Chains A and B, each alone.
Chain A
Amino acid sequence: MSFRSLQTSWNRYGGYALGFASLFVLWHLASIYLVSSVLFPPPAVVFRKAVILVRTGVLLEHLWASAQRILIGFIAGSLLGIPIGLAMGSFRPVRQVLEPYTEFLRFIPSVAMITVAVIWFGIGEASKIFLIIYTTIFIVILNTAAGVSAIANNKIRAAQALGATPRQIFFHVALPATVPYILTGMRLAMANSFTTIVAAELIAANEGLGKMLWDGRMFMLVDDIFVSLVSLGLLGFAVDRTFRWSIYTFAGKYSPAT
């Protein structure tokens, strides 16, 4: 690697690397000098524990359980939310009929629905997926509907004057113009899915990162708790970066610049 390319990659990623490194350094300093307690293990201890948990397969099992639930619920919630949002944004009667549902239900947090979900669907996969769908769908609906109503009137009028039928206007103008809003809604929903899955697994689950946290508390496995927390952070970060990257790569041309 030449000096020049080293320099450009430093300019691009150097800040990130430094930020991440400082996070672990601060954590280390805080746990060694500030708190100095078995209840707040330093990063090295947590890392060693993580290696053990990876070797025994326990960590990946929990990680995969949570990730799978999020993914299934998130995709299902988006697939339901997008058409509903499009319909609400496009047709006034649909909006009037459905708005009471969305406006009422979105103020009942998914965490509050955990008890009901467990009573209805048991402690297995169904209740988790229901909760992730629940937490995803309203954000996606609201953002999609907002995107439809933000379409410039002249985009529709231009299409009419160019001979487009209402159906064509929907698929060739309204839908692509709304894509950036849909993706933003999905990204927000993804963040909410993390909150929800951990809460649900804390209360009722046989595996998952939330269950790992709960067991850690029950058996005083502080290191396990920290492994779970760090895993959540890294998983969330990785998923969000992937999301941003795919928005940029696949939908760059849908950017709302014009």
Chain B
Amino acid sequence: MSLVSFRDVQKSYRSLQGAEYVAVEHFSLDIEAGEFFCLLGPSGCGKTTVLKMLAGFEGPTAGQLVMEGQPVTVASRDRGVVFQGDDSLYGWLTAVENVEFGLRMGGVARAERRERAMRYLELVGLKGQQLKYPAELSGGMKQRIQIARALVNEPKMLLMDEPFAALDAQTRSLMQLELAGIWRTTRTTVLFITHDIDEAVTLGTRVGVMRAGPRSDVKGVLNVALDGARDRTDDVFLRYYKQVYEMIRDEVAKSLAGGA
């Protein structure tokens, strides 16, 4: 049985004018335990909608969304979330206090949660920055806090919504490398949302491509049989890149024609 399964999921929104907008429809996808699944799609295709439903922030309007046999209805500590921007961090708490937030809410004793939080801060490369406030840290460091904050809770799954999209190119590639390393250490199941083919092929064990919205679904899924550190100049990497590119090219064109 898959860890997560979307069956014919539909999500529609009603605009203020009362018009109905169907973001995703007949969306079906299985995510296996331990994989790093990258969901790729043109902007406005409903990638983030998929993540919000799985996180439990928004419910599907039709279809089934199940995790370990249980329907997903509300947010839970089973699914850690890393958001795109830094507005989810708590500006009044230090880096380490942000990381231990979940443990504190769960009633873990002070000494133990501090020790665990420090371990994860070290894992994300923030040792020595624990007493700084988010406002004192760079964009990349703030995303590291978010990753540590989600991982220290030991969720069954990590949901990442374009976590590196707001970073500069150099920081982004560095963060990708480090995330790949962290994933190899923890082997947490990941759903990673991105619109960047390079990022998807660099990180994913599987890459799913979504169609242009509205009424988007999964166009196809590709296994990426690459191990270890991935080299962007490697022939096999380029072959995967090309395959994904060919899948998404038309969707991007449609999305642009649609004015998205």
Contact = CB atoms under 8 A, between A and B. Distances in A.
User: What's the interface size class on B, roughly?
Assistant: 20 to 34
Interface string B100-137: 01101110000000000000000000000000011100
Interface in B54-88: 55-57, 74-77, 79-81, 83, 85-88
Given A154-B87, A158-B146, A162-B80, 19 more contacts: A155-B90, A158-B88, A158-B89, A158-B149, A161-B75, A161-B76, A161-B77, A161-B79, A161-B81, A163-B105, A168-B105, A172-B101, A173-B90, A253-B91, A253-B92, A254-B91, A256-B91, A258-B89, A258-B133
B209 to A, nearest CB: 26
A257 interface: yes
Contact of A258 (B74, B79, B83, B91): B91
B255 interface: no
Interface string A137-157: 000000000000000101101
A177 interface: yes
Main secondary structure of the interface of B (DSSP, over half): loop
Contacts of A168: 105
B149 A162 contact: yes
Nearest to A155: B88
Given A154-B83, A154-B85, A253-B133, A162 B102 contact: yes
A157 B55 contact: yes
A159 interface: yes
Contacts of A8: none
B153 A162 contact: yes
A152 B87 contact: yes
A149 to B, nearest CB: 15
Interface residues of A, number: 24
Nearest to B106: A163
Interface of A: 152, 154-155, 157-165, 168, 172-173, 176-177, 179, 253-258
A168 B104 CA distance: 10
Contact of B81 (A158, A173, A176): A158
A163 B86 contact: no
A176 B149 contact: no
Interface of B: 55-57, 74-77, 79-81, 83, 85-92, 101-102, 104-106, 133-135, 146, 149-150, 153
B102 A163 contact: yes
Nearest to B136: A257
Nearest to B74: A160
6 contacts: A158-B81, A160-B56, A160-B75, A162-B105, A173-B90, A177-B92
A17 B105 CA distance: 50
B92 A154 contact: no
Contacts of B106: 163
A257 B79 CA distance: 28
Contacts of B75: 157, 160-161
Contact of B87 (A155, A162, A173, A253): A155
Contacts of A177: 90-92
**Which 10 A/B pairs are nearest by Cβ-Cβ distance?**
A258-B91, A163-B77, A162-B102, A160-B75, A154-B88, A257-B135, A152-B87, A158-B88, A161-B81, A164-B105
B83 A158 contact: yes
Given A173-B90, A176-B92, A159 B135 contact: no
A70 to B, nearest CB: 29
A157 B57 contact: yes
Contacts of B56: 160-161
Contacts of A161: 55-56, 75-77, 79-81, 150
Contacts of A158: 81, 83, 88-89, 146, 149
Contacts of A163: 76-77, 102, 105-106, 153
A251 to B, nearest CB: 9
A159 B89 CA distance: 10
B135 A255 contact: yes
Contacts of A160: 56-57, 74-75
Contacts of B85: 154
